[in-house]
Structure 1
Amino acid sequence: MIVTQQQPNIRHLTLPDLEEYFVAAGDKKFRAKQVYEWIWQKHAHSFEAMTNLSKDLRQKLSEQFTLPALQVDATQYSADGTIKSRFKTHDGHLVEGVLIPTENRQTACVSSQIGCSLSCKFCATGYMDRKRNLSYDEIYDEVVLINQQAERVYNKKLSNIVFMGMGEPLLNYNNVLKAIERIGAEDGLGMSHKRITVSTAGVAKMIKKLGDDKVRFKLALSLHAANDTKRNEIMPINESNNIKALVEALNYFYKNTKNEITFEYILFKNFNDSQKDADELVKIYRQVPADLVNIIEYNPIDAVKFTKPDEETTQHFMQYLEAHKVNAHLRRSRGKDIDAACGQLANKES
């Protein structure tokens, strides 16, 4: 039996790789640049779409390479303007991304993994198995497809990208950084890294690696509890990456990059919403050069019985932070009616 080697993904070739391929094939070197533009700037999802190449060349490329791309599998529109998309990968997996429009911004919330392995108790994705990492070209496709939605529906391009969808970005480190490099490249989407935020549940070693690599994007830490006992209860990753280790890693990251750091903190009724909890949060905030604490409304999911505190408790919590000179912002939920809000992404049927 003859076993044929799988054709390589053409998007995993660099421009010099493509130039080498065309020269070796006896073709013109400039063909490489044409193909590269189709892949990364014109967003071709098939060789047939590369219309300035001859039919024979397109056929030859399709025989020697693959061009796997995300496809939009389902789209839901929220009453508040949020759009959730379910994407299908070339091998049949599903992953979700969200377009969040406001008056001044068009933000893409993108996923980095299919499912998640961290099992955070309040997050719908945490109750799914992690199937695999998304490759950098798949993450790039998410951004491209959401940008096309923004242009089609709102006549505006994306202004911001947040890695706050499905999965833990720092456990798919290389693909996430390569995707961001392509998103920022002039021969990619040309978006400033300062408009990109990567959110992590807290992988101290990889936060330090971000510092070593001197990345230029912003970092958000999903804190959600300001002492180890409570954080262990809702975020198992804290058992191996406790708050002290994360504070040290964030300071290292800042020292090496001077990039903006944000804390994310979901309020849960009768769990982390007391004045004592607020005081512990103030103490952590003072240990890190953080720019902002985002206080997030809890969005219910089927698997657990957490609820959000009443408005009065929320306001008291915010007032305590503000009285203690914490730059805090209350983030109201978007897209709750289509399960597109923070912590709700789970590939549910529309």
Structure 2
Amino acid sequence: MRKQNIRELSLQQLQEYFVQINEKPFRAKQVYEWLWLRHARDFESMTNISKQLRTALEEHFELPAIKIDLTQHSSDGTIKTRFKTQDGQLVEGVLIPTESRQTACVSSQVGCSLSCKFCATGYMKLRRNLNHDEIYDEVALLNQQALESSGKKLTNIVYMGMGEPLLNYKNVLKSIEKITSPDGLGMSPRRITVSTAGVAKMIKQLGDDQVRFNLALSLHAANDQKRSEIMPINDTNNLKNLVEALNYFYKATNNEITFEYILFHNFNDSLKDADELIKIYRQVPVDLVNIIEYNPIDNARFQKPSAETTQRFMEYLGKNRVNARLRRSRGKDIDAACGQLANKDNQSMAAEGELA
């Protein structure tokens, strides 16, 4: 019989378990703190718990924490980490430091089902959803990296790694609940952004659930024809439906909304494309448009535009009173694009017969 994941239990359920085995209920609080606040990787490290009780926990429960498999350090300070789950799956997280921020970019799925044409993860198969505690592990380990590299804790978290967060809805929300809990990392939900390729139904669900974190839409093209060409999800979640869903979300939560727009050479970087972006921008209460430099990948045909084209695009948005910011590509000297690092070994796994 498979052991139960101990991190699926609430504090009350842990207390009930300890009463059943004739242990003091306060032991549950100690174990719970080890699991979340101290981020224990195994039962043996719970040093204020008796050896006998640690053995009992080991016999009845599992603690399937993810572990660091590989790290890459960029000359600009970016740290790319490949994590390995207990069942051997590979996912990615990135620590992005600036003078004022320590941002963690985390994955929500092993692989992805959306097949976006410019994304390394889009060329993988979806293996499975990450559980809430696995997502928490990513954040906790990246927070540890931030402390070790700069002496500063994480200031921001973006669910912008491998996978579509809104297709792993329950686990993403539960992970944020733990990350923002005083028993966890205690981070403000206003410092957390969930990025979606655009699942209109689930964007509205976020509004109904009165979430407190921010939302980013991976837009990347501002007309349906072009967006469907690079993002097949647009066939069932077109721009009209997304505009409606985003307005519904904002009315329900008053949370910040960001547009993400990667510039692709000779595809979405003309002034006509800018006009279409401005039109969508004016239909939604968008706080910011992030114009993103593209990190080319082997499988995709896209390249980033020239510096002159990028500057012209940005200046045009500015003249039209769009609050836009150019987000420079980070980690150019490592496997920085989402899914690149995990995809290396996952492709090998697939070739052997059997995802960042």
Query: Scaled by the length of structure 2, what TM-score is found?
Result: 0.96
- 1:275 alignment partner, one of 253, 262, 271: 271
SS at match of 2:343: coil
Instruction: After TM superposition, give the deviation of residue 298 of structure 1 in Å.
Output: 1.0
Output the amino acid matched with 1:306: F
Contact 1:150 1:157 in 2 (8 A): yes
Q: Structure 1 residue 341: deviation in Å?
A: 3.8
Which of 19, 22, 25 is the aligned partner of 1:23? 19
SS in 2 for 1:347: helix
Matched, 1:298 2:300: no
Alignment-mate amino acid for residue 206 of structure 1: M
Query: Which contiguous aligned blocks of 4+ residues in structure 1 show a shift greater than 2 angstroms?
Result: 341-349
Structure 1 vs Structure 2: percent identity of aligned residues? 74
Residue by residue over 1:112-171, the C-alpha shift from the partner in whole angstroms, topping out at 9 and shown as x without a partner, is 000000000000000001100000000000000000011011111100000010000000
The equivalent residue for 1:66 is 62
Query: How much does 1:348 deviate?
Result: 2.8
- The answer as to whether partners of 1:299 and 1:344 remain within 8 angstroms in 2 is no
- State the 1:344 CA deviation: 4.5
Q: Deviations over 1:100-119 (max 9, x none)?
A: 00000000000000000000
Partner of residue 83, structure 1: 79
1:236 paired to 2:232: yes
Partner of 2:168: 172
Q: Distance in 2 between matches of 1:345 and 1:126?
A: 13
Alignment equivalent of 2:40, drawn from 41, 44, 67: 44
Q: Which moved further from structure 2: 129-138 or 335-344?
A: 335-344
**Alignment match of 1:285 (pick from 272, 278, 281):** 281
Deviations 1:252-291 (A, max 9, x none): 0000000000000001111111111000000000000000
Say if 2:52 is the partner of 1:56: yes
Q: Which amino acid aligns with 2:125?
A: D
* Residue equivalent to 1:251: 247
Alpha-carbon shift at residue 304 of structure 1 (Å): 1.5
| Contiguous gaps of at least 5 residues in structure 2 | 346-356
Q: Write the letter of the residue equivalent to 1:255.
A: K
- Residue 343 of structure 1 deviates from its aligned partner by 6.7
Matched, 1:201 2:197: yes
Q: How many residues are paired up?
A: 345
TM-score w.r.t. length of structure 1: 0.97
Report the secondary structure of 1:181's partner residue.
helix
**In 1, Cα distance between equivalents of 2:186 and 2:265:** 42
Tell me, in whole angstroms, the C-alpha distance in 1 between the residues paired with 2:178 and 2:100: 25
**Map of 1:318 onto structure 2:** 314
